[in-house]
Amino acid sequence: MTKSQIRSRIQILSAEIERHNRLYYAEASPEITDYEYDLLVQELQDLQAKHPLVQTPDVLDKVGDDLDKSAKNIPHKQRMASLANAYSIQEVIAWWDKISLELGGRPELCLEPKIDGFGINLFFSSGKFQYATTRGDGAVGEDVSENFLTLPQIPRTISFQNDIEIRGEIYFPIQDFLAMNEARRQNEEKPFANPRNAAAGSIKLKDIALVKDRPLRAFFYTTGYIAGTAPFGSQDELLRWLKDSGFPISDKHYVCVDEDSLIDFCTQMEALRNELDYDIDGVVVKVDNLALHNRLGSTSKSPKWAIAYKFKPDEKETLLKSVDFQVGRTGAITPVAILEPVYISGSTVSRSTLHNFDEIRRLDLHEGDTIRLIKSGEIIPKILAVNFDKRLAGAEPISLPDTCPVCHSPLSREEEAAIEYCSSADCPAQLARSIEHFASRDAMDITGLGTFIVSRFLKEGIIESVADLYGIDFAKVKELERIGEKSAQNLQEAIQKSKDKNFDRVLFALGIRHVGTVTARNLAVHFQTIEALEQATNQELSEVPEVGDIIAKSISDYFANPKNLRLVQELIGQGLKMSYESEQESELLAELSFLVTGSLKSISRKDMESLIISHGGKILSGVSKSLDYLIVGEKPGSKLTKAEKLGTVKIISEDELLTMLERDK
């Protein structure tokens, strides 16, 4: 490379690193994995080392910045630094050798799993919690105290009376993360890229009610500023002190004195990572003796007494068989890669969402390509890159449609957005998805009206719109092949029963873009009637919790469409509830909190929650000390284990809850 080419490459790498820093820290919306990012950094470091006379930007000395300049920001009393990374045990051993020479002896190391979460800093004074801040730019953090205090099992007081900063990571339990992303996909909301970004986005939400609905958790592992003498002298003792003080910590830390122990621990953690209910992306290696930290010091960006051994992503090659373009209920076109099935990170993957057309262009996907696949955050399948060496001769680029793959109407893209939409409100695919959404459990809960039946009814002309569901000729349905009389009768009863759903469920069922279940309930409670909602201005809409400019515009656009107004009038004519009715029947469960886990036998989870609310009870999003009752159905999840460990939660069945209501009548 010439000097000009080297300078050009350095400028390109610097700009890319700056951009990905912004996406990762400020926008919580990364486009590449940590491993890909570190490869860019490594390339830039190598170029700088080999060509020291070439003037280079200082991007590598900058610490990532997640600050919201409009929020309340508080300076850290001691800087929150980033760790240097290593991608092989040999690099870690080389680091150990280097600091051993500097110290004149080989120090013991404390090894801990590296939680892939969102950094948090707590400040205590006189033994009392004062505030919680994000990592920010390392020197200043954003105040998230109110949101942070929604997390369970965080002590408000400690025995240490001097000023102290306690630091850790906020994370999202994996199963809860998967459930939330599935709900977001069903509502055609953008899913989070990984649990870390879900945690980052959640802790900084402006609506504390939404934060409470997200089961955030935290692990703590270090301190920042300490006034006076610390009550511990090593990292191992620090972790034990944190645990004794009531802070949740990882139970998998280990003090090692030799290379074999180091290798064994790192190998075990890498093997264990897919079994944990939280995401780890490596092992943090620290000098155990805290007094040696001061001797070793820090660089402008990282401490010299610690290093992060980062796991390489589990990466596999497989064949791209095709790309399907799916049409959602709002007309959103989502490309999905169909893959030759491959086993990776604990499961077999045969599909990978490509998110949008820009992603296909960025990857330069061609027909029959061999692609490199990873699981982002070890959870979501993601195409990392194409192996261009294995590209077939004459392979054609993946053809991107300019019309809807179902109705062939032109596609359009919202301003400053990345999603292509079908422009036709009469698109059969949109209609089918809209009916499926309307009948879904969180909407009208019409059991038996799934994808197959909806498709069949549309094909046979049984229905042509959502409103037609309430005028189905079931004599014709009973004559259809593969649909028995009993199934038809059950479906008829389910459709009739759906008329009892409250206004908020009907509003969610309409499928207004960006309006999920929580927003639908907030809108229903605020405006009370569909007429008031139809006439609301964008300013009036934005006064509702969780409704910003984008959602307000989406609601206004929906009711500006004459076709949608006709649908609402038809549903009113069929007897659906278009005004909000208070569900309060009694105060029998007042001041009591409940949570449901597992499948219930006699009632849906949504109806159980509505029943509890109607008697004054409160529904929590996760297990905590403030939870009074956990209602357990079949195949309960991790919530049952957490409640049993907590020991203060009363665990009951759905029958016992119903008995409570009967007994108190």
pLDDT tens digit sequence for 172-202: 888 888 788 777 766 666 777 778 888 888 8
Average pLDDT over the chain, rounded to an integer: 86
d(CA 473, CA 477): 7
Q: Which residues contact 191 (CB under 8 A, 6 or more apart)?
A: 181, 184, 185, 380
pLDDT confidence bin for 375, thresholds 50/70/90:
confident
Q: Which residues contact 502 (CB under 8 A, 6 or more apart)?
A: 524, 577, 580, 581, 583, 610
Residue 291, Cβ neighbours under 10 Å: how many? 9
**pLDDT reading at 60 higher than 70:** no
> What average pLDDT does this structure show over 542-571?
88
d(CA 379, CA 344): 10
Q: Which residues contact 541 (CB under 8 A, 6 or more apart)?
A: 523, 547, 551, 552, 555, 556
pLDDT per position as a tens digit, 72-107: 889 999 999 889 889 899 999 999 999 999 999 999
Both tokens of 256, joined, read 């090692």
* Distances in whole angstroms, Cα of residue 50 to Cα of each of 91, 132, 320: 20, 43, 39
Nearest to 259 by CA among 124, 89, 35: 89
| Phi/psi of residue 385, nearest 5 degrees | -170, 170
d(CA 131, CA 163): 12
Both tokens of 253, joined, read 């830390």
Cα 302 vs. chain centroid, distance in angstroms?
28
N- to C-terminal Cα distance for the chain? 84
Structural domains in the chain plus CATH codes: 3-61 (1.10.287.610), 73-310 (3.30.470.30), 316-413 (2.40.50.140), 428-573 (1.10.150.20), 593-663 (3.40.50.10190)
pLDDT per position as a tens digit, 474-496: 988 888 877 778 888 899 999 99
Helical segments of 145-204, H only: 145-148, 174-186, 195-203
pLDDT at 70: 64
Residue 586, Cβ neighbours under 10 Å: how many? 12
pLDDT at 437: 92
* Least trusted range by pLDDT, from 73-82, 303-312, 507-516, 630-639: 630-639
DSSP SS3 for 581: coil
Partners of 616 in beta bridges: none
d(CA 532, CA 530): 5
Contact (Cβ atoms closer than 8 angstroms) between residue 246 and residue 144: no
> What average pLDDT does this structure show over 321-341?
90
pLDDT per position as a tens digit, 429-457: 888 989 999 999 889 999 889 888 998 89
Provide long-range contacts, Cβ within 8 A and 24+ apart, for 229-238.
230/290, 231/160, 232/290, 233/289, 233/290, 233/291, 234/110, 234/288, 234/289, 234/290, 235/110, 235/286, 235/287, 235/288, 235/290, 236/110, 236/288, 238/290
The owner of tokens 């205090």 is 149
Nearest to 355 by CA among 372, 333, 322: 333
Cα within 13 Å of Cα(536), Cβ side:
27
Helical segments of 135-258, H only: 145-148, 174-186, 195-203, 208-212, 235-244
Cα 54 vs. chain centroid, distance in angstroms?
42
Contact (Cβ atoms closer than 8 angstroms) between residue 63 and residue 301: yes
Contact (Cβ atoms closer than 8 angstroms) between residue 81 and residue 63: yes
Q: Would you please indicate which residues are annotated as catalytic (active-site) residues?
A: 114
pLDDT confidence bin for 242, thresholds 50/70/90:
very high
Partners of 317 in beta bridges: 372
Both tokens of 404, joined, read 């809807």
**pLDDT reading at 211 higher than 70:** yes
**pLDDT reading at 408 higher than 60:** yes
pLDDT per position as a tens digit, 565-621: 999 999 999 999 999 887 667 888 888 888 888 878 878 777 787 788 788 777 775
d(CA 646, CA 242): 18
